[in-house]
Amino acid sequence: MSEKVMQKRKWQMTIALIIIIAITYLSAAITKFNFIDGLVAFPEAIGWMFSNLLITQESLEKLPTILDKLVETIFMSIAATTTAAVVSIFLGIMGSKTTSINGFLSTFARFIASVSRNIPVVAWALILLLSFGQNSLTGYLALFVGTVGFLTRAFIESIDEASHSAVEALTATGATYFHIVNKAVIPQSLPQMISWILFMIETNIRSATLVGILTGTGIGYTFDMYYKSMNYNVVALVTFSIVIAVIIIELMSNYIRKVIM
Amino acid sequence: MALLQIARLSKSYDNETKVLKDISFSVKAGEFVSIIGPSGAGKSTLLRCVNQMVPISSGEVIFDNAPVTQLKKRALRQLRTNIGMVFQHYNLVPRLTVIENVLHGRLGYKTTLQGIMSRFTEKEKEQAFYLLRKLGIEEHAYKRCDQLSGGQQQRVGIARALIQGPKLVLCDEPIASLDPNSSKIIMDHLKSITSELGITCLVNLHQVEVAQQYSDRIIGLNQGEVVFDGTNYQLTEEKTNRIYGTEMRELITV
Ligand SMILES: Nc1ncnc2c1ncn2[C@@H]1O[C@H](COP(=O)(O)OP(=O)(O)OP(=O)(O)O)[C@@H](O)[C@H]1O
Ligand SMILES: [Mg+2]
């Protein structure tokens, strides 16, 4: 009996593997991507990187302006995330089955979450560019909208998971809706929510660079500018400082997570 | 005069299958009543109909002379302050301290603002500590609930129900997640609620022996119908079989 199951599993695995290989081959054929050419180009590309993307003495002079822009970008990401978090808490409470007030609001919240989440941040930036033009507001809004979608979804799950039973108990004591949200739902799901917010700050700092290239603001703009003027040494420095910043933020949020959990 | 009267109560979640069928019984003040029956018989649903945690489909529930089914918002909240509830999985807020969880039982008496600001009177706090002392968990008052054992958490749940100053306490399988030792402690506490404080208890149980040992009266439920209602002396082997179905009985007592 169990041997038969094992046999079946093996077959399923083999078939799955064949399908994956087939798909890979097919997509390579369709896009005319040649594995061999790709591999051959590799050493050359790496060689180019090492010879051009060097941080030189000269490029270090640009460091203060770069850091300036970097800090601006980080703060914009944090601002976009925290403001989005406030909106998402409301949408999350409305959208969660445990705490929803009525079906319409619940569907509405889930709809907003779904729309803003399923359109990539870059697409939002491009859409918003049309109406708001190239400025930092556009970048902020693009991050904000994407974050609302993601966080609302995450908060709905945190609330549902964390507090269903306590909500039942408090309802049975005769507590009001706001009592229940305040005394049971928020205390129980807050650490999880903060964890998601930290995750979104990290994500948004990365996306902000990309969005900045499009909207001509922040560190993304700096990157784009030096990239287009082929000053690759500075490009390397910009990239390096972004990487360092992201790592620092990640370490910090990991620490915060440990403390609050 | 009966504290709780249930008359021709029916309940259906999906408008097709009736989970409770035409149930009638009443409970006198100060009685300790157990409800037994196989899984899915509708025990939890029945308890939740008493304090309107689920809306009933037809029939009447009268608690303390008030028709429960007709109550709306404020009046319903007020009714619920008079009915404590104890759950199988304790239903505490695990990240909050014991004392905070106990004081949640007073929220029904607060306005929204008072509650959110945690405006509890000295008397309420004293009462909370008094209850914790009675239940033997005073030294854990400032611990987070998720650091307590199951039996201790259930005692927090009981304290939360008692601080409401209820006339009736509904217990949905209060000992189903506990070992025999903790179960005995919990059942003894519940029994003393009735004998010392005169509070009526309506307890769902799945161990017949426990029900027989503690109850003044036992109600047997099978597939949403009351098939037994009497004292534990009247609950003969044959009647127990009728509640559970013969084979079920063997499984349950093992
Ligand atoms: N919220 C709900 N929505 C739909 N059906 C439900 C709901 N709660 C319970 N039921 C159904 O009602 C029936 C009775 O359930 P109930 O939980 O009252 O039984 P129970 O006697 O408490 O069982 P157990 O001993 O397993 O706790 C079951 O068939 C169950 O599937
Ligand atoms: Mg049940």
ipTM summary value: 0.92
**Average pLDDT of the residues in B48-65:** 93
More confident residue, B1 or B35: B35
Domain spans of chain A, in order of start: 3-52, 58-260
- Is A165's CB within 8 Å of B115's CB? no
Angstrom distance (rounded) from CA A100 to CA B229? 39
Whose tokens are 């799945």? That residue is: B206
The mean pLDDT of chain A is 89
| Separation CA B38–CA B250 (nearest Å) | 12
Instruction: Please give all residues whose beta carbon lies within 6 A of any atom in ligand 1, as ranges.
Output: B 13, 19, 37, 39-45, 206
- Predicted confidence band of residue B249 (pLDDT cuts 50, 70, 90): very low
- Residue by residue, DSSP assigns B141-152 as TTSBGGGS-HHH
State mean pLDDT over B38-50. 94
CATH architecture, domain defined by B2-90+165-253: 3-Layer(aba) Sandwich (3.40)
For residue B224, the CA-to-ligand 1 centroid distance in Å is: 10
CATH 1.10.3720.10 correct for A58-260: yes
Q: List phi, psi (to 5°) of B238.
A: -65, -40
Could you tell me the pTM of the whole model? Answer: 0.84
Q: Is residue A55 a contact partner of residue A237, using CB atoms and an 8 Å limit?
A: yes
Nearest to A169 by CA among B206, B104, B176: B104
Average pLDDT over residues A61-77: 89
Provide the residue type at B58 as one letter.
S
Protein residue with least CA distance to atom 6, ligand 1:
B13
Is the pLDDT assigned to residue A4 strictly greater than 60? yes
Mutation for B interface: A173, A180, A181, most B CBs within 10 A: A173
Token pair in block for residue B210: 């426990």
What is the C-alpha separation between B220 and B239, in angstroms, rounded?
Answer: 9
Look at residues B209, B222, B201, B144 and name the one whose alpha carbon lies nearest to residue B183. Answer: B209
How distant is the Cα of B120 from the closest Cα of chain A, in angstroms?
13
First to last CA, chain B: 40
Mean pLDDT computed over A146-155: 94
Q: Tens digits of per-residue pLDDT, B83-139?
A: 999 999 999 999 999 999 999 999 999 999 999 888 999 999 999 999 999 999 999
| Residue B227's pLDDT band (cuts 50, 70, 90) | very high
